[in-house]
Structure 1
Amino acid sequence: MAYYLVLFDRGYDVVADHLGMGAEYARTRRMTTYTGDARIAYLNEVHRDADLVTTYQILDHDEKRIHAFQELRHAGDGKVAATCETLTLHIDMGGPKVCPFPADVMERVAALAASHAGLPVPDGVGRPIGIRRRPKVAP
């Protein structure tokens, strides 16, 4: 189960680099991101030798947070193996505490969010967790 999260995290690492918040950002600017919340849905089995790709879509953001949705897909047929909805927090490592994105990073986050604005909201976003029960019918 944990390996799915590792794959989603590696997919996010590529996005974080694109946004200017990768490993170098943490070293030089002493800021990073933490996952404040994550929900993984396991939809189809993944075998050890599977060829997989991840997607990343920004659903919403503000000056300190990114709400995103990722899919883990089989490269060959595109079948979705799992999804991961996250709330990412921008962190000042000196605290550590949640803090606003610097202007240059915010500009890249906003640009990526704008490029995703026309995409449909993926199935499963905001889905509650719990046991669904059928209403009991009175005799």
Structure 2
Amino acid sequence: MLDRTDPPVFFSPFVSSPMGIEPQWIDYNGHLNMAYYHVLFDRAVDEVYELLGMGPQYLEQRGCSTMVAEAHVRYLREIHEGSPVRVTVQLLAHDAKRFHVFEQLYHASEGWLSATCESMTLHVDMAAKKVAPFPDDIMAALARMQAAHAALPVPEGAGRRVAMPERR
């Protein structure tokens, strides 16, 4: 559960609540299915949204929401059913209409990195179905989060692209 202050305090990086790997998420290969890595990353971002003022009530009250325009997931080490996990969320950049985050999924008790997700998210006016500027209060919250994350190094893997290895 989030301890919400006004204005919110943004830890550097943000660390999600603990989560677990559910049995129905395991695929026929005995691995966590790739779709559920996204679920874990999404749940962590939902906690950040609460702090930013863009929680579940945001769409109803403001008529706006967000949509991921691009995401890049790296699967680094298998995570198994029942494993406790946490996700860190680092705000790399933002502007008036979008933000760029890098998330890292860790085994919560052993501390090793399982996966990363880098994404670009757009702020959308749902009535107009167009990208729109964030309201001033959300921009201020993003600026506070960006300031809290400014001293963090750029994570290893940020800015990578999907490509075949170059031949030598």
Question: TM-score when scaled to structure 2?
Answer: 0.79
Partner in structure 2 of residue 32 of structure 1: 65
Consecutive unaligned residues in structure 1, runs of 5 or more: none
Paired residue secondary structure (2:162)? coil
How many Å apart are 1:133 and its aligned residue? 3.1
Partner in structure 2 of residue 98 of structure 1: 131
Selected match of 1:21 from 26, 31, 54? 54
- Residue by residue over 1:2-32, the C-alpha shift from the partner in whole angstroms, topping out at 9 and shown as x without a partner, is 0000100000000011100111111111111
Consecutive unaligned residues in structure 2, runs of 5 or more: 1-33
Partner in structure 2 of residue 72 of structure 1: 105
1:1-139 paired onto structure 2 within 5 Å? 1-135=34-168
Q: Percent identity?
A: 47
How many Å apart are 1:75 and its aligned residue? 0.4
Distance (Å, rounded) in 1 between the aligned partners of 2:70 and 2:54:
19
CA RMSD of aligned residues (A): 0.7
Amino acid across the alignment from 1:117 = A
How many Å apart are 1:128 and its aligned residue? 2.0
Distance (Å, rounded) in 1 between the aligned partners of 2:72 and 2:161:
10
Paired residue secondary structure (1:90)? strand
Distance (Å, rounded) in 2 between the aligned partners of 1:26 and 1:98:
14
How many Å apart are 1:76 and its aligned residue? 0.8
How many Å apart are 1:134 and its aligned residue? 2.8
Amino acid across the alignment from 2:87 = T
- Residue by residue over 1:24-67, the C-alpha shift from the partner in whole angstroms, topping out at 9 and shown as x without a partner, is 11111111110011000000101121100011000011001101
How many Å apart are 1:127 and its aligned residue? 0.8
